[in-house]
């Protein structure tokens, strides 16, 4: 639990960070609080971007300068699925921009795409001419050009950046990133770990390598920070720590984000951290398109699923336009179908779980560059998930800056559900009879 003692620790570590120089953040930044700029005394615990990174900045005459490069990136959703996406500085999503309320920031944007772009600073309070809507607030940034945006951060909270030019293409292929602005006066209830990620969806049709921007609803991949389970980082915490997760949505769907094992509080949004009287206790919170929600919880030991509750959003590439096989006796037709569709394996009569077993056994490998619908192995078997699913892994006595995956939870004896019979007629359960 965070306490006054931690505040004192922050102060000490922050002083060291300030002494070290002007680059205030880096790839997989150490979890040491730091003072962001000269003249700004506040300290903050750096945010950790799932599967991502924080953009280093340079101080120039009191202005914190960042440099984004819009460019094509060769991206891996999970081993076995890659695509030509667009992003910033070599990644989709682009790196997180992290600063403190009151900072003067200058963000250079170089366009290395073959068409024009712009950047909108989603939710930020700034002069109209810095708002980044191509054609409305500024000329488009042509290929090869660099534009400078400069403004003072007048708020705190979780925010986003994304193009406001040919959005239907540029968003669909991955151009987006997060902006985290810490409050200048610190936080009355400090957090011990601070995570952030973006929700997105992709139409990467089976066997292809370019996301299709024309698709509106029927997507193949559903991602946390452009990754699918099981390639999404675990959210690691030590028992009793206060954890914040900032969930941003630039996809084409609303996503009910559900966590197991705790009731979390919804504590903030693009509007900053809300007054404590407005915090809500939930276990599922819809993060609408264009919205951000901050959730916070006290970490409880275990392995806890953390996922979108739309069942199709926790699958990888799956066909939606197929006849329903449920309850259909397909024995005997395999051989007939295989004559026209070599390798065909009938399945689904009793449910779809057998899909993962068939894939694991090599019965149907699917098209190239295409992930199986269900995947993932846990200590007790197939997890049968994909897409927007990851695990909150909480262990006792982890060091404050230890974010390594601790492996599978070893539950205390007597606390795991277990088999007591394999007789289908076991016991005398109360059941409704058909009328």
Does the footprint of Cu ion cover residue 200 (CB under 5 A)?
no
Q: Between 85 and 388, name the residue whose CB sits nearer to Cu ion.
A: 388
| Cα torsion angle, 255, 261, 264, 269, sign | negative
Q: Please, which of residues 302-321 interact with Cu ion by CB under 5 A?
A: 308, 310, 313
374: left (phi over 0), alpha (psi -120 to 50) or beta: beta
Which one of 44-52, 239-247, 300-308, 359-367 is the stretch in contact with Cu ion (CB under 5 A)? 300-308
- The strands making up 389-395's β-sheet, listed across from edge to edge, are 235-238, 389-395, 302-308, 255-259, 284-287
Q: Quick one: DSSP state of residue 47?
A: P
Size of the site for Cu ion (CB under 5 A): 4
Does the footprint of Cu ion cover residue 105 (CB under 5 A)?
no
Number of helices and strands in the chain (H, E): 4, 24
Which one of 92-100, 255-263, 273-281, 351-359 is the stretch in contact with Cu ion (CB under 5 A)? 255-263
- φ, ψ of residue 71 to 5 degrees: the values are -160, 165
Contact with Cu ion (CB under 5 A) among 34, 255, 273, 393: 255
Q: Between 310 and 337, name the residue whose CB sits nearer to Cu ion.
A: 310
Q: Between 184 and 312, name the residue whose CB sits nearer to Cu ion.
A: 312
131: left (phi over 0), alpha (psi -120 to 50) or beta: alpha
Which one of 31-39, 113-121, 249-257, 401-409 is the stretch in contact with Cu ion (CB under 5 A)? 249-257
Q: How far is the CB of 390 from Cu ion (least distance, A)?
A: 13
Does the footprint of Cu ion cover residue 120 (CB under 5 A)?
no
Distances (CA, A) of 374 to 160, 326, 354: 30, 17, 10
Q: Between 244 and 255, name the residue whose CB sits nearer to Cu ion.
A: 255
Q: Which of helix, strand or coil describes residue 336?
A: helix
Q: How far is the CB of 158 from Cu ion (least distance, A)?
A: 19
- φ, ψ of residue 337 to 5 degrees: the values are -70, -35
Q: How far is the CB of 300 from Cu ion (least distance, A)?
A: 24
d(C-alpha 82, C-alpha 76), whole Å: 4
Q: Between 131 and 285, name the residue whose CB sits nearer to Cu ion.
A: 285
Q: Between 108 and 310, name the residue whose CB sits nearer to Cu ion.
A: 310
Q: Which of helix, strand or coil describes residue 282?
A: strand
Q: How far is the CB of 313 from Cu ion (least distance, A)?
A: 3
Q: Between 100 and 266, name the residue whose CB sits nearer to Cu ion.
A: 266
- x/- map, 127-166, Cu ion, by CB under 5 A: ----------------------------------------
Q: Centre a 10 Å sphere on the Cβ of residue 328 and count the other Cβ atoms it contains.
A: 11
Q: Which positions lie near Cu ion, rule CB under 5 A?
A: 255, 308, 310, 313
């Amino acid at each position: 639990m965070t306490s006054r003692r931690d505040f004192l620790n922050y102060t000490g570590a922050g002083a060291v960070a300030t002494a070290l120089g002007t680059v205030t953040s880096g790839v997989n930044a150490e979890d040491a609080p730091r003072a962001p700029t000269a003249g700004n005394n506040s300290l903050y615990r750096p945010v950790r971007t799932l599967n991502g990174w924080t953009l280093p900045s340079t101080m120039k005459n009191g202005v914190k300068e960042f440099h984004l490069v819009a460019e094509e990136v060769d991206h891996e959703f999970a081993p076995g699925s890659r695509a030509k996406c667009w992003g910033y500085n070599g990644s989709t999503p682009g790196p997180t921009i992290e600063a403190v309320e009151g900072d003067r920031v200058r963000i250079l944007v170089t366009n290395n795409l073959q068409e024009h772009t712009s950047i909108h600073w989603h939710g930020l309070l700034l002069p109209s001419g810095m708002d980044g809507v191509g054609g409305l607030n500024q000329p488009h940034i042509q290929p090869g050009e660099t534009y400078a945006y400069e403004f003072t951060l007048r708020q705190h909270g979780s925010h986003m950046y994304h193009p406001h030019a040919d959005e239907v293409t540029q968003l669909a292929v991955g151009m987006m990133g997060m902006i985290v602005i810490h409050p200048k006066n610190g936080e009355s209830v400090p957090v011990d770990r601070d995570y952030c990620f973006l929700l997105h969806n992709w139409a990467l049709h089976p066997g292809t390598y370019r996301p299709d921007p024309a698709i509106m609803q029927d997507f193949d991949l559903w991602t946390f920070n452009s990754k699918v389970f099981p390639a999404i980082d675990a959210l690691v915490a030590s028992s009793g720590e206060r954890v914040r997760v900032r969930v941003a949505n630039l996809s084409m769907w609303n996503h009910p984000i559900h966590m197991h094992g705790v009731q979390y509080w919804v504590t903030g949004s693009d509007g900053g951290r809300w007054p404590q009287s407005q915090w809500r206790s939930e276990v599922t919170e819809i993060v609408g398109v264009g919205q951000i929600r901050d959730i916070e919880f006290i970490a409880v030991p275990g392995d806890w699923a953390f996922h979108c509750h739309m069942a199709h959003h926790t699958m990888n590439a799956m066909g939606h336009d197929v006849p329903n096989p449920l309850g259909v006796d397909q024995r005997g037709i395999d051989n007939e179908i295989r004559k026209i569709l070599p390798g065909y394996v009938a399945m689904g009569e009793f449910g779809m779980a057998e899909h993962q077993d068939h894939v694991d056994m090599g019965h149907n490998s699917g098209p190239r560059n295409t992930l199986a619908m269900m995947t993932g192995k846990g200590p007790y078997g197939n997890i049968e998930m994909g897409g927007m699913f990851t695990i909150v892994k909480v262990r006792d006595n982890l060091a404050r800056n230890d974010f390594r995956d601790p492996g599978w939870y070893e539950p205390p004896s007597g606390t795991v559900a277990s088999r007591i019979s394999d007789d289908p007629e076991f016991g005398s359960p109360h059941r409704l009879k058909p009328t």
